[in-house]
Structure 1
């Protein structure tokens, strides 16, 4: 037990959200402690899908190659009717954020990788078998009563981030309710090992008699999810003979080995508020998402990236504590969009009756006749893209559909002049970046040296063939036309790769006032 110490940030819960947050703070150089009541990270498989946005976060944490070494990259979903005919394929090949859009992984492996990653940082302390007993806060700090074995002691922190899951003790202590609903549907989850399959893609049995999802994973693992009917009892469906029957009728390899079976009732809920004073909720402590779109864990990872750079900027004095007021407004709407997205996916994979199943199947077949509609489905363009309409940003005159402000900047793979291939974020650095898209970069860059631009401590990146003093250059063709509408601009990029502002070069002087106001606003009292 470490006694009497003070940390800028304390994290409760060493699941994917908490461990990701701790790794990001480690990269940013922020001292923190992560408390976990259990003796180790999880052993049983839980989340099984990691998306391109989360892999981009792993890149920021310096662990993406490690994580990708244990994933199945770029899998899709093939939908089958009750007659066994494939009527839709969602198989995205595009990589707008630099990574495959859907990837299969094993949560125990990911958590081990993230936990090992913490050992890189002497300023990050991981305390397993340490339970948070209680906490109090005032306007200066949070005091945590922590129990290890039979010993209790106090530590203090500037901020407490609760990543302690769906039954969050921190959320209950704060008296914050979870709004939303609980699904009436129950699902039987079956995890297998040594279960070879002929295709790396998810197979969706869109059969009203027994809706089912079969998800292949790395190292011959496979997960099945079966919808249970109201008249079916949990104990009957968990019986060995029933499990065997379900596996035999849903194409599981005979040599498969059962490692877990459990019945879940899925939730769609949001915390009524995500913070109180110096205490913030993240991951399942703040929101619960149905699993049909594989976005539950990924939403928690997005929370971690959003709040990590803000905590770092505040602790290191670059921005003020009011910056944290943008955390919930930026994340809440997108979390709800992901919940609705999961609802819609659920309606397709579990039709209520034969008529609904028929309508879904032939609706998809009809769309496949039109290239744009077919591409919309196949490339997974129906997934709601992340976008902030409020928060730490400066709006421009572009409409909500057109503007880059509040959106994540694409991440192309870039061929450098020396022949090396790199991803954009590796050139942007860990903090803010100013991306100059102007052919007049030689005139623009000197104007970005003073305030308020220097307050962001930003790296200047120029779309050009040669670097100017104090800048990084990337080839003008790197974005493949995706930034054509923003030629002759300066794009203010946040550490989490969202665009905070898009400013015309000819308006730099005028718009610098808005940037100055944005920065100054964070120093106003919360």
Structure 2
């Protein structure tokens, strides 16, 4: 039996229902867009994979309404320390440090508990149609819509469903990626690791490093938190498969306890999961073909040593959500999605490089090579790790030569502020969207009525920093955490124009440059058919269909 749901045209269809799909559905639904989700499995995968989120993703999740729920499923990270076989420190990454987004740089999470929170959030929206137990067997597209064919696992019933766009968040073996015709670049990292998650017994305190890589060539080992559930803290060990060992040998529970023996005994904890995973480094060449798009593991797979796999997928979501919103509301045409891969692929590629750098530090089974590595770290002759990436392409302010004007592409600061008599986080009080932040009230005189009308047409806002709320309280923010003032002074700017995804479009080094900055954003958006508020009509989306 088959049917075509052609009486319904969803705004977006999502294939897969992992965390990337759950959160993208919430992002779109909260903006009023209809979303259909199709997932083969009827029950959520019960075991952890990802164990942490960084400050940027914590800010994003908070901004879409999950701020109050996050503390129950996450906890601040300790410093992340790397040791050689003699437990001498090689490298330290201070994940406990205060971040530009406010709070610690990294938070550890228990993924199944977090996903349950995501699912609960998704089910609050009538705009989201969740179809579990439906196996997507084909995806295709026309100039006017994307379409999938799904078969119900239990009944063999077949449905055909249409949407304006279809996004594959369907994992490393993505059907949607195959439909796009995208190949994958193999960046050359591959290693098998036994992953063990365990729950210490009540009252047991383990004498272990809080978060560490034990770079012992006899057995490279990872020891990190694995999140919190019902007030109890999980722990994770990862052990590299050594030459001559089989995957089957490692997946034996007796072997798992033998490997854990230096740190934990069977009477101290319960093993929740032990399984061998292959860590790889892959990135898709093509992330979008007209109305078909990929995100998350469908677009990129990376070693876990920076804890960025899920974070990268949620960044894909955040980049797509605000652009799809402009397209679906008729304010821009489909070509705006051309900037998705331009912005996200280099960023994900750089994180893969950073993860591979760290992976190559620990994944050394040869004692002589490990000794050379140790010597280079101790003598400080080792090549330093790549910096954490910013945006390097896409919708960013540029000079006449096409070069990006600093600080365009950087993540904007965030913190606690006072605004309109209230104290809270900047995003909560000022709101989301384009925001022009001025260094002080005096610079507001450089923003002309035409500038204000231009920003209002983008649904943008203007605020300025001040020591206290004054007569212009509609626009002043008091920087209680001292995040914004040092950032702007450090970059020598009097204004910064922030995009809806919290990345800086551009900055002005003098008041006289502010009008030009606003105008350049309007021009750049205009390249993608952007229509300012009041000018919007359905022709933008119709035009995008014609151009596809």
Please state if 1:519 is matched with 2:519.
no
Please state if 1:62 is matched with 2:65.
yes
Contact 1:26–1:123 (Cα < 8 Å) also in 2: yes
Unaligned segments of structure 1, at least 5 residues: none
Partner of 1:443: 445
Deviations 1:93-147 (A, max 9, x none): 1211123212211211111110100133222222211222222211111122222
Deviations 1:38-89 (A, max 9, x none): 1032211111121112111211221133123211212222223222444544
- Select between 105-114 and 446-455 the one with higher mean Cα deviation: 446-455
Contact 1:78–1:202 (Cα < 8 Å) also in 2: yes
C-alpha change, 1:514 and 1:415, in structure 2 (3 Å) is: closer
Q: Does the residue aligned with 2:239 lie in a helix, a strand or coil?
A: strand
Q: Distance in 2 between matches of 1:252 and 1:400?
A: 58
- Select between 248-257 and 139-148 the one with higher mean Cα deviation: 248-257
Partner of 1:74: 77
Partner of 1:212: 221
Q: Distance in 2 between matches of 1:383 and 1:126?
A: 40
Partner of 2:41: 38
Alignment of 1:50-449 (within 5 A): 50-92=53-95, 93-148=97-152, 149-181=155-187, 183-194=189-200, 196-198=205-207, 201-217=210-226, 218=228, 219-251=232-264, 254-365=267-378, 384-396=387-399, 403-415=406-418, 418=421, 421-447=423-449
Q: Does the residue aligned with 1:62 lie in a helix, a strand or coil?
A: helix
Please state if 1:6 is matched with 2:13.
no
Q: Does the residue aligned with 1:407 lie in a helix, a strand or coil?
A: coil
Contact 2:420–2:473 (Cα < 8 Å) also in 1: no
Q: Distance in 1 between matches of 2:208 and 2:255?
A: 25
* Cα shift at 1:450: 4.8
Q: Distance in 2 between matches of 1:366 and 1:189?
A: 32
Instruction: Give the structure-2-normalised TM-score.
Output: 0.86
Contact 1:75–1:104 (Cα < 8 Å) also in 2: no
Please state if 1:16 is matched with 2:22.
no
Partner of 1:459: 461
Contact 2:399–2:405 (Cα < 8 Å) also in 1: no
Q: Distance in 1 between matches of 2:415 and 2:436?
A: 17
Deviations 1:264-294 (A, max 9, x none): 2211111111011111110000111111111
Q: Distance in 2 between matches of 1:167 and 1:467?
A: 56
Please state if 1:491 is matched with 2:504.
no
Q: Number of residues paired by the alignment?
A: 515
Contact 1:437–1:490 (Cα < 8 Å) also in 2: yes
- Select between 383-392 and 491-500 the one with higher mean Cα deviation: 383-392
Q: Does the residue aligned with 2:68 lie in a helix, a strand or coil?
A: helix
Contact 1:130–1:146 (Cα < 8 Å) also in 2: yes
Q: Distance in 2 between matches of 1:87 and 1:101?
A: 20
C-alpha change, 1:490 and 1:513, in structure 2 (3 Å) is: same
Q: Does the residue aligned with 2:283 lie in a helix, a strand or coil?
A: strand
Q: Distance in 2 between matches of 1:143 and 1:334?
A: 29
Deviations 1:143-193 (A, max 9, x none): 222223322222211111110000111112232211214644211111112
C-alpha change, 1:252 and 1:66, in structure 2 (3 Å) is: farther
Q: Distance in 2 between matches of 1:510 and 1:265?
A: 50
Q: Does the residue aligned with 1:80 lie in a helix, a strand or coil?
A: strand
Contact 1:323–1:392 (Cα < 8 Å) also in 2: no
- Select between 388-397 and 265-274 the one with higher mean Cα deviation: 388-397
Q: Does the residue aligned with 1:122 lie in a helix, a strand or coil?
A: coil
Contact 1:287–1:335 (Cα < 8 Å) also in 2: yes
Please state if 1:475 is matched with 2:478.
yes
C-alpha root-mean-square deviation of aligned residues, in Å?
2.9
Q: Distance in 1 between matches of 2:352 and 2:491?
A: 32
* Cα shift at 1:30: 1.9
Q: Does the residue aligned with 1:346 lie in a helix, a strand or coil?
A: helix
* Cα shift at 1:213: 0.4
- Select between 297-306 and 249-258 the one with higher mean Cα deviation: 249-258
Q: Distance in 2 between matches of 1:443 and 1:184?
A: 57
Q: Distance in 1 between matches of 2:223 and 2:207?
A: 12
